[in-house]
Amino acid sequence: MSLTSPIRNPDLYDAAVMRRRAWWLIVMSLFIPGSAQLLAGNRRLGRILFGTWLVFFLIGLATLVSYLLSPGFTFGFWVSYWGLLGIQVILVVLAIISFIAAVDTFRLVRFVHVPGRTRLWVAIFTVVAMFGPAGGGAYATYLAGVTRDTIAGIFADAPTVEPIEGKYSFMLLGGDAGSDRIGLRPDSVSLVTVDANSGQIAVVGIPRNLYNAPFVKDSPMRAQWPDGFNCGDECLFAYIYPWAENHAELYPEAVAAGSSPGVEAMRDSVEAITGIPVQFYVLIDMRGFSGLIDALGGVDILIEERVNVCVVGEPITDTFPAGATHLDGKRALMYVRTRCESNDYERMGRQRQLEEAILRQVKPTTVLTQFQQLASVGKALVVTDLPQSMVGLMVDLGTKARKLPILRAELVPPIFDQLYPDFKLSHEIVRETVFPPLATPTPTNQP
């Protein structure tokens, strides 16, 4: 008599054997589809179910090893279009084989011979085995599809780009196209660099009210404005965006490349102001910013001095007292937008404070639990030309960056004069921020 006899050829009238056999078959089928069939049923069906499960198990194991060795590459592959499509296929197949295995296992347990007190629990767990993995797989497949559509809707279909001088560079634009405004103009402009090895982030803030903003040598804008954007109060730095949008013929290929004339004109100017080539842009719609913060459950910040809210020249309508506070999306937007009893430079500081708070406080558990809302907000919130193939790398570098302080510089008075700007000075400030000098050890006196 073989050891598998009680499983394959049980004594149908031995209550203890039938009880144990039923539980073994159900548990095996739940965790390893096909194993119950190999031991007690159709071995051909069992080999198909188990073989399919084993292939996917090995893929998962290889993915884990790959992630431990190269997180960025692994994550980047699985969030690519084909990677996410592959996840959907795997999940669908797993759901199907789990359901088939559970249904056939219910036949194999010989329910009528299971002792009466055990039948109810066997029936319950069989239903769980049938619909638990199938339902979970179906929902996970849906989420993978949402992720694929979201990533495809945000990121560019373009090849990977190599860093320049060991840094990836972004132009971060905070767009504010409210109902009281004609078109969009960026109220917040920053150059953001990310070290390709350490993930170290450096942020350089550029004031929206900068005068005489220059353009790089080959820019179409430079042909129109050879001495910089210099028509007075109508030519502040932030107004470059709408001016270029109204002269789209200067950048005829911008839209086809996933950008816009306004973005490209701003890019040409940011490069000239900072002396750093801009590889990617990220345009954040401030109206969607509120939805992002709400989806994350709000954000915690420390307000050093009281901040009042009002329309300039009108009575105060709200106040943010000094101290630790929790902001929802609506109040966070009020906090970063208000100019009441303050100026553009103080507002820039509040915007940077909120950006850093979000970076520090986003948790994987929050992303998972609020995934669908975040995905919905993401398409309305962010426009970028960052290649989809680099998403995994940037997530990996972002994880490293959370452990490091953010290097900051603001091109504002008294260090930098926005009315009569010295762009040689701005280049020096930016280089010192993005490429900080290494600390020199203090020499010690030798005895």
Order the strands of the 280-285 sheet from edge to edge: 382-384, 280-285, 167-175, 186-195, 201-206, 407-410
| Residue 55 or 403, more confident | 55
Ranking 9-23, 157-171, 178-192, 378-392 by mean pLDDT, the lowest is: 178-192
Mean pLDDT of the chain: 83
Mean pLDDT of 244-272: 94
The residues near 121 (Cβ < 8 Å, ≥ 6 apart) are none
- For residue 442, is pLDDT > 50? no
Residue 65 · residue 58 · CB < 8 Å: no
Return the closest-CA partner of residue 194 out of 438, 399, 428: 399
Pairing of strands 201-206, 407-410: parallel
Per-residue CA distances from 66 to 13, 73, 148, 250, 364 (Å): 51, 8, 21, 46, 20
Residue 252: the pLDDT is 95
Confidence band of 423 (pLDDT split at 50, 70, 90): very high
Residue 226: the pLDDT is 95
Residue 45: the pLDDT is 93
pLDDT in tens, 297-349: 888 999 988 999 988 778 888 999 999 999 998 898 889 888 887 777 788 78
Phi/psi at 284 (nearest 5 deg)? Answer: -110, 125
Residue 180: the pLDDT is 44
Helix (H) or strand (E) holding 195, with range, is strand 186-195
What number of other Cβ atoms are within 10 A of residue 447's Cβ?
A: 3
Domains and CATH numbers, the chain: 5-154 (no CATH), 167-434 (3.40.630.190)
Residue 327: the pLDDT is 92
| HSE-up of residue 333 (Cα within 13 Å, Cβ side) | 17
For the chain, the residue count is: 447
Residue 182: the pLDDT is 41
Highest mean pLDDT: which range of 104-118, 149-163, 250-264: 250-264
Question: Residues of the chain with pLDDT > 90: what percent?
Answer: 36
pLDDT in tens, 12-24: 777 888 888 888 8
Q: Measured at the alpha carbon of residue 15, what is the angle toward residues 10 and 16, in degrees to the nearest 5?
A: 85
Residue 69 · residue 100 · CB < 8 Å: no
DSSP letters, 18-62, are HHHHHHHHHHHHHHSTTHHHHHHS-HHHHHHHHHHHHHHHHHHHH
The residues near 3 (Cβ < 8 Å, ≥ 6 apart) are none
User: Distance (Å, rounded) from C-alpha 41 to C-alpha 35?
Assistant: 9
Mean pLDDT of 256-274: 94
Residue 375: the pLDDT is 57
What number of other Cβ atoms are within 10 A of residue 245's Cβ?
A: 18
pLDDT in tens, 97-135: 988 998 898 888 888 778 877 788 888 887 887 788 877
pTM: 0.71
Residue 176: the pLDDT is 61
Mean pLDDT of 164-173: 94
Residue 378: the pLDDT is 56
What number of other Cβ atoms are within 10 A of residue 285's Cβ?
A: 20
Which 8-state DSSP code applies to residue 231?
S
Per-residue CA distances from 229 to 177, 205, 238 (Å): 22, 19, 10
CA 334 to chain centre: 24
Mean pLDDT of 144-169: 82
Ranking 89-93, 240-244, 437-441 by mean pLDDT, the lowest is: 437-441
